[in-house]
């Protein structure tokens, strides 16, 4: 059996996965900043690393999966002030919404979901260590900063040199810093900010910088060194680069063995983001498409590749998922566990062990669907159902999926199930009366409304959404 190989951003290559502790995996993924509803870019992060933890568990590893929640930062404070509500009320509301969106997408809750506000003491301890080790200093404005030039390996993850960064336009001048490249560890509280946004510290009342939050939470929960750290491609620099500098500067220990980054969701070949104003929330998409279709759309692409979002691509994903469920509709999966020695399962396993290659894994599902349609073999249907389940797919009753309206309701002018059944019965009555023109008219009307009829032996008629 081929070993699991993971593309390690730090090494810029696929590497055989060897956990620090045999049989165990400790994984941290940067989660959401909760001041608004999650968009489709967030959905990709959720689904991509849900897939990773699923496959690691399938391989038999004992996984500790941590995905944090950022519940204090400038955007959160600003939104709470704009809304006239407390920070806690704002963040709790959007944490609930995030959990609802994740559950709809079939994303399992992480084993541990720390909130930044729960780990401020650990952040303060790490900053004190950095100050003691000569990496941190308090600037003229009261903020505590990390001295980037003192960390010899800065830029190793992103491939950026100090000289490149100084020459670039990313760095703004700040006279309170010793160097424009230095980043904030602790922000001095401002008079206009609500009291709940600050904590007492050796450097005055304030709040943590974004980067120190993840360093402190991951090290507190997984140890100074752990196996996998993941997140979106946009976090590679500066967030993850800064995490390495902070964590290794504080502990003196190599921080993470494997860095994983998922690719962007794009609109017209441009990254989907709130700052660009070109994003769709998960909730908006689920008003038009079934949640499993959105998950399938994400999984059909390799997690590291860019993924172009459009209704056309989602319709194509819906058609593909319909094909898989249709294969299972009339063939009951055989009894027993998934057979990993079967040819399709072996190809699936090889694909997943090749840096979680869902492109090939999904192609195996389609091969199986074709075989099920051809042979009507329950053992193959069991394989299709089981392998789909590894990806978090095909868990529903096929007829329930095939008859579901977009968004799980009779939205967008779709006929509801009762109206469809009434029309089918009217068609059956027309056929019994030998009024075949009327029967054909009803079939045509249903087809125009996106409903496909299938006449079964014995006179029964089944239907599905087109």
Which residues are annotated as part of the binding site for ATP? 274
Rounded CA gap, 166 and 162, in Å?
A: 6
Bridge partners of residue 112, in order along the sequence: 66
Structure tokens at 275: 């700052």
Strands 226-232 and 24-29: parallel
How far, CA to CA in Å, does 169 sit from each of 31, 100, 245, 389? 27, 39, 21, 47
Structure tokens at 342: 């079967």
Rounded CA gap, 186 and 207, in Å?
A: 6
Rounded CA gap, 303 and 368, in Å?
A: 23
| H or E stretch covering 231 | strand 226-232
Do 394 and 331 touch, CB atoms closer than 8 A? Answer: no
Give the three-state DSSP class for 25: strand
Rounded CA gap, 364 and 343, in Å?
A: 10
| H or E stretch covering 91 | helix 87-104
Do 214 and 239 touch, CB atoms closer than 8 A? Answer: yes
Rounded CA gap, 462 and 8, in Å?
A: 49
Do 407 and 286 touch, CB atoms closer than 8 A? Answer: yes
> Rounded to 5 degrees, what are φ and ψ at 154?
-60, 130
Which amino acids are annotated as binding site, given as ranges? 30, 214, 239, 243, 274
Rounded CA gap, 342 and 191, in Å?
A: 66
Structure tokens at 147: 């001295």
Which amino acids are annotated as binding site for Zn(2+), given as ranges? 30, 214, 239, 243
DSSP codes of every residue in 271-338: E--TTTT---BHHHHHTTS-HHHHHHHHHTS-TTS-EE--HHHHHHHHHHHHHHHHHHHSSPPPSS--
């Amino acid at each position: 059996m081929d070993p699991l190989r993971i593309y390690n951003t730090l090494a810029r290559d696929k590497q055989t996965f060897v956990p620090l502790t045999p049989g165990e995996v400790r994984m941290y993924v940067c989660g959401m900043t909760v001041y608004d509803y999650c968009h489709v870019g967030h959905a990709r992060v959720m689904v991509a690393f849900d897939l990773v933890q699923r496959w690691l568990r399938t391989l038999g590893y004992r996984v500790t999966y941590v995905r944090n929640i950022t519940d204090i930062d400038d955007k959160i404070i600003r939104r709470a002030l704009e809304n006239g509500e407390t920070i806690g009320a704002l963040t709790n509301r959007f944490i609930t919404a995030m959990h609802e969106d994740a559950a709809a997408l079939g994303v399992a809750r992480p084993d541990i979901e720390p909130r930044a506000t729960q780990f401020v003491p650990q952040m303060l301890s790490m900053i004190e260590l950095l100050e003691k080790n000569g990496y941190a200093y308090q600037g003229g404005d009261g903020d505590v900063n990390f001295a980037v030039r003192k960390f010899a390996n800065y830029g190793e993850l992103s491939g950026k040199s100090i000289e490149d960064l100084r020459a670039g336009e990313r760095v703004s001048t700040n006279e309170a810093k010793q160097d424009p490249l230095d980043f904030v560890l602790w922000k001095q509280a401002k008079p206009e900010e609500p009291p709940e946004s600050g904590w007492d510290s050796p450097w005055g009342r304030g709040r943590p910088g974004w980067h120190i939050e993840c360093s402190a939470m991951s090290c507190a929960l997984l140890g100074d060194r752990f196996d996998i750290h993941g997140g979106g491609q946009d976090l590679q620099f500066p967030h993850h680069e800064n995490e390495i500098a902070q964590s290794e500067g504080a502990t003196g220990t190599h921080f993470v063995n494997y860095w994983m980054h998922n690719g962007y969701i794009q609109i017209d070949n441009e990254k989907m983001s709130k700052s660009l104003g070109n994003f769709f929330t998960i909730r908006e998409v689920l008003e038009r498409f079934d949640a499993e279709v959105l998950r399938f759309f994400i999984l059909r692409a390799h997690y590291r590749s860019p993924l172009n979002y459009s209704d056309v691509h989602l319709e194509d994903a819906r058609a593909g998922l319909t094909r898989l469920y249709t294969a299972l509709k009339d063939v009951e999966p055989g009894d027993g566990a998934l057979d990993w020695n079967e040819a399709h399962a072996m190809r699936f396993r090889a694909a997943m062990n090749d840096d979680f290659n869902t492109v090939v894994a999904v192609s195996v599902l389609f091969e199986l669907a074709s075989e099920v349609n051809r042979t009507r073999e329950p053992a193959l249907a069991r394989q299709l159902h089981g392998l789909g389940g590894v990806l978090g797919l095909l868990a529903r009753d096929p007829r329930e999926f095939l008859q579901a309206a977009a968004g799980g309701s009779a939205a967008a002018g779709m006929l509801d199930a009762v109206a469809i059944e009434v029309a089918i019965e009217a068609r059956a009555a027309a056929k019994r009366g030998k009024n075949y023109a009327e029967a054909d008219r009803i079939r045509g009307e249903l087809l125009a409304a996106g409903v496909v009829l299938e006449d079964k032996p014995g006179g029964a008629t089944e239907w599905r959404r087109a």
